[in-house]
Amino acid sequence: MIVRFVKMHGAANDFVVVDARGGGVPEPRGPWVARVCDRRRGVGADGVLLLEAHPALDFAMAYHNADGGRAEFCGNGARCAARFALDLGLGRGGEVAFATDAGPKSARRAADGRIALRFGRVEAGAPAAVVEAAGRAFEGRAFRPGVPHFVVEAASLAEVPLAAWGAALRHHPAFGPAGTNVDFVAPLGPSRVAMRTYERGVEGETPACGSGAIAVALWAAERGAASPVRVRTAGGDDLDVEFAEADGGWEVILTGPAEVAFRGEWREGPA
């Protein structure tokens, strides 16, 4: 079986993207995704995005993390899937509407070429909680912009031992069997923050995380920051998060780059 793909990245958060509206994806998907995402033996990626047919919307997005597990949502992945769909000519009026496991979303190409994802409503953050892990007490806020995130303020992101602290918090019993993504955030100025993310499913740091950018922006919003909040990712790119209060939560738009790196073919089975 030959699987044609596009390698894309959103602020260095990278994905293998496949038009699977007509099928043609190896089953079972989980082990295949893990092989494709292997950075030494495969294409290498943080996850795989599949565009599937949908009866009412332009497409449905299925997202699998690098370990092969299905995830409800990925913010940078959704923007890459939207860019891929727009390049295929899907949508109308320069906008695509699509289904995700976290509900329907829409996206458009901004004037500067970046992709603006209309995420929709995110509940207000949970009250601050203290979690003891890795021999320390971490005070943070939990948000769920499609997937769970625990946001912790750090005085210096460079000095955060992310592999140790992130892993300890990601698997902490306080977050249930599925665990959580973990974001460390440092204010940089009015409506500007920097972040580092330990990503569930990747089981390590990723250069950027779109849902994490939403989480840290809303953390800043609940401390008085005005919209939009600009988020500097670990990879050095900026993601912009617009928000407006709505029914005790926030209506959110995430804007950032979604770029094509290369196109290729994956041969599944004997050569």
Which residues have CB under 8 Å from 219's CB, separation 6+?
125, 141, 143, 151, 185, 193
213 in the same domain as 98: no
Tell me whether residue 236 is annotated as binding: no
How many domains does the structure of the chain reveal?
2
108 in the same domain as 191: no
Tell me whether residue 251 is annotated as binding: no
249 in the same domain as 127: yes
209 in the same domain as 181: yes
Tell me whether residue 76 is annotated as binding: yes
167 in the same domain as 111: no
102 in the same domain as 151: no
**Residue 69 belongs to domain spanning:** 2-119+258-267
The residues facing 51 across adjacent strands are 19, 61
Tell me whether residue 211 is annotated as binding: yes
168 in the same domain as 64: no
pTM of the model: 0.94
131 in the same domain as 89: no
Catalytic pick among 8, 17, 50, 74: 74
CB count in 10 Å sphere of residue 122 = 21
Catalytic pick among 168, 209, 214, 241: 209
Report the CATH number at residue 25: 3.10.310.10
155 in the same domain as 109: no
161 in the same domain as 246: yes
140 in the same domain as 187: yes
Quick check: is 74 catalytic? yes
Three-state SS letters, the chain: CEEEEEEEEECCEEEEEEECCCCCCCCCHHHHHHHHHCCCCCCCCCEEEEEECCCCCCEEEEEEECCCCEECCCHHHHHHHHHHHHHCCCCECCEEEEECCCCCEEEEECCCCCEEEEEEEEECCCCCEEEEECCEEEEEEEECCCCCEEEEECCCHHHCCHHHHHHHHHCCHHHCCCCCEEEEEEEEECCEEEEEEEECCCCEEECCCHHHHHHHHHHHHCCCCCCCEEEECCCCCEEEEEEEEECCEEEEEEEECCEEEEEEEEECCCC
Tell me whether residue 181 is annotated as binding: yes
pLDDT in tens for each of the 271 residues of the chain? 999 999 999 999 999 999 999 988 999 999 999 999 999 999 999 999 999 999 999 999 999 999 999 999 999 999 999 999 999 999 999 999 999 999 999 999 999 999 999 999 999 999 999 999 999 999 999 999 999 999 999 999 999 999 999 999 999 999 999 999 999 999 999 999 999 999 999 999 999 999 999 999 999 999 999 999 999 999 999 999 999 999 889 999 999 999 999 999 999 877 6
Quick check: is 37 catalytic? no
List the structure tokens of 152: 């912790």
Tell me whether residue 200 is annotated as binding: yes
159 in the same domain as 93: no
